[in-house]
A and B are shown apart, each in its own frame.
Chain A
Amino acid sequence: MTLRNSAAVVGAAEVPPSRTTTGMTTLDMIATVAAAAAADAGVAKDEIDGLLVGPQVGETPQHVPATVAEYLGLRPRYADLVDLGGATGAGMVWRAAAAIQAGMCETALCVLGNIREGDPPRSPNRNPIREFDVPYGGSGANQAYAMVATRHMAEFGTTAEQLAQVPVFERANARFNPDAVFHDKPITVDDVLASPMVMEPLRLLEVVMPCGGATAVLVTGRGSARRFRRRPVWLRGAGEKVTHRALSQAPELTTSPLAAAIADAYRMAGVGPSDLDLLTPYDCYSIMLAVTFEDAGLCAKGSAGPWMAEQDFSHTGNLPCNPHGGQLACGQADLAGGMAHLVEAVRQLRGTAEGRQVADPALALVTGNGATMSEEVALVMEADS
């Protein structure tokens, strides 16, 4: 029993990231994008009988699926909350497929959204990170990825100039995405190196910008996937791996759990890195993309720095990567930012990416990454043939 090609994404929508949002609750945001995804698919509301949502920091700490279902007038047969940080969106897709295959629902809405009015509340954590990391000034995500970058540089000689290529190519790609926060704002390696140091060795332009926004996809089973108005995009393979929460507990620093998740996704899909036509990898920081390229087997461990310099990651390049600009150019709408990589893969694989369409892509690798490079999901998505 495998999930390979058992289900497809038949609808996708996004409320593009914005620096601030006003006049909306989180539920309003979620409902807006849910309705847009249903309209995109041509799915009637009452055909949706599965609902997957994410955690919310303030508005609805508990009973999230029921609260969202009630607002939307849904009465799902399968209701779930997925809590994998930036990997939540990708993690929802295989869970939806598994629920569909098990007969627990037929068409599932996977939705993530957040508002951003001023600074979000500080984490109310009372866990080991609060006890053993925060008292040393180790709050937030920046320090963890900076420490990964430090170690990568020390082990492999990776340079700041090499990592700076990541936001440079993503900003270049975002010239073709009018929805990106940094649309039409190309930058150079020198710009990155001249931007303020945040946590050494990571500078401001290598760090994702927090935003509000939302994303949603509709997943349905093999039998009904071609019934809707869009070309289905098939789930060809999936893998997941969680190894730690605090970086002090990570088994390794320069190989992420994505290596295992991607290997599982390739195995289910029966493909390898050379079969991919498109990458939409999670990119909260420059170093995350470098590590992901290595863990996806696209280049040898430690070689991402020089390897990236030889690639053309544009939508017309040899290896299109985040043609929308990724989160470094689009902004990160909290958990929806992770799902935005899936939404871009869906648009590309069904041929609706408009001004940045990759020529006839068949296979895409989508990744999600959460916490301190700790909770990871990889998907291989396939165009309908």
Chain B
Amino acid sequence: MSIPKPGPTPVPMSKPFWSATAQGQLVVQRCQGCGTHQHYPRVVCRHCWLTELDWVTCSGDGRVWTYTVVHRPGHPAWEPEVPYVLALVELDEGPRLMTNIVNIAPAEMRVGLAVRAVFDDTADTSLVHFAPVDRPLPTP
């Protein structure tokens, strides 16, 4: 029997984020005071500590800040997936998030690659992945 992958663990503050990904949208918080975007969700703006934060929909575009190709996962549930691409993507809006880059061969990966958010609506998961902008995911 395979080991189940640990999925997201939403907390009240982050529920809007995961609700949006389930709808195929990427949302982050924007501070009403200083205008800074942030991810992950917090009760305060990490820049100015204002508590008035709006949820805004991102373009879904970003660039690979850095990445690794995983051959020996830190968690056994991912062993059947190797090699897979784990990346930090910098959104055009500024925040960075961990994700997987899909629809690309590991050898094609590079820092600075332009990527776009893709959502897997075929599974009971609401993770957000990214694919090269010139190579969107085929429609399932």
Task: Tell me, in angstroms, the Cα distance from A199 to B111 when the chains sit together.
Answer: 16
B106 touching A200 by the CB < 8 A rule?
Answer: yes
Within 8 A of A (CB), among B62-84: 65-75, 77-78, 81, 83-84
B137 located at the interface, meaning its Cβ lies under 8 Å from any Cβ of chain A in the complex: no
B88 at the interface (CB under 8 A from A): yes
- CB-CB under 8 A from B73, the residues of chain A are 137, 139
Stretch in A30-38, A146-154, A167-175, A356-364 touching the partner: A146-154
CA distance A118 to B14 in the complex (A): 36
Q: Is the beta-carbon distance between B69 and A200 smaller than 8 angstroms? A: yes
| B-chain residues with CB within 8 Å of residue A132 when the two chains form the complex | 8, 39-40, 97-98
Q: Which stretch in A1-9, A108-116, A246-254 binds the other chain?
A: A246-254
The interface residues of chain B lying within 8 Å CB-to-CB of A147 are 66-68, 86-88
Q: How far is the CB of B120 from chain A (nearest CB, A)?
A: 12
With the chains together, A75 CA to B65 CA distance in Å?
50
**A234 to B55, alpha carbons, bound, how many Å?**
53
- Closest B residue by C-beta to A200: B69
For B, the interface residue count at a CB cutoff of 8 angstroms equals: 40
- Bound: A199/B67 CA distance, A: 10
Asked if residues A126 and B86 are in contact (CB atoms below 8 Å), the reply is no
The CA-CA distance from A201 to B106 in the complex, in Å, is: 12
Residue on B nearest A126 in the bound complex, by CB: B9
A197 to B75, CA, bound (A): 16
Q: Kindly list chain B residues whose C-beta atoms are within 8 Å of the C-beta of A142.
A: 72, 74
User: In whole angstroms, how far apart are the Cα atoms of A202 and B100 in the complex?
Assistant: 18
Q: Does B94 make an interface contact (CB < 8 A)? A: no
In the complex, what's the smallest C-beta–C-beta distance from B33 to chain A, in angstroms?
20
A358→B133 CA distance, assembly (Å): 55
* Binary contact track B95-107/A, C-beta < 8 Å → 1, others 0: 0111110000010
- Residues of the A chain whose Cβ atoms lie less than 8 Å from the Cβ of B112: 154
**Residue numbers in B under 8 Å from A199 (CB-CB):** 68-72, 86
Cα of A196 to Cα of B71 in the assembled complex, Å: 9
Q: B78 — nearest CB in chain A belongs to which residue? A: A137
* B residues in contact with A202, CB < 8 Å: 68
Q: In the complex, what's the smallest C-beta–C-beta distance from B41 to chain A, in angstroms?
A: 9
With A137-B78, A248-B88 known as contacts, the answer to whether A150 contacts B98 (CB < 8 A) is no
**A-side contacts of B86, CB under 8 Å:** 136-138, 143, 147, 199
- Contact between B40 and A150, CB atoms less than 8 A apart: no
**Contact in complex: B40, A128 (CB < 8 Å):** yes
A138 to B77, CA, bound (A): 11
Given contacts A132-B40, A137-B75, A147-B88, contact A200 B98 (CB under 8 A): no
Q: A150-B67, A151-B111, A200-B68 are in contact. Are A248 and B98 (CB under 8 A)?
A: yes
Binding site for A on B (CB under 8 A): 5-11, 14, 39-40, 65-75, 77-78, 81, 83-84, 86-88, 96-100, 106, 110-112, 125, 127
Which 8 pairs from chain A and chain B are nearest by CB?
A140-B74, A139-B74, A146-B68, A154-B111, A137-B78, A200-B69, A139-B75, A151-B66
What are 20 A-B residue pairs whose CB atoms fall within 8 Å in the complex? A130-B9, A131-B9, A131-B11, A133-B98, A135-B7, A135-B125, A135-B127, A137-B70, A137-B75, A148-B66, A151-B65, A151-B66, A151-B111, A154-B112, A196-B72, A198-B71, A199-B72, A246-B98, A248-B88, A248-B98
8 more contacts with CB within 8 A, not counting A131-B8, A132-B97, are A131-B40, A136-B99, A142-B74, A150-B67, A154-B66, A198-B72, A200-B68, A248-B88
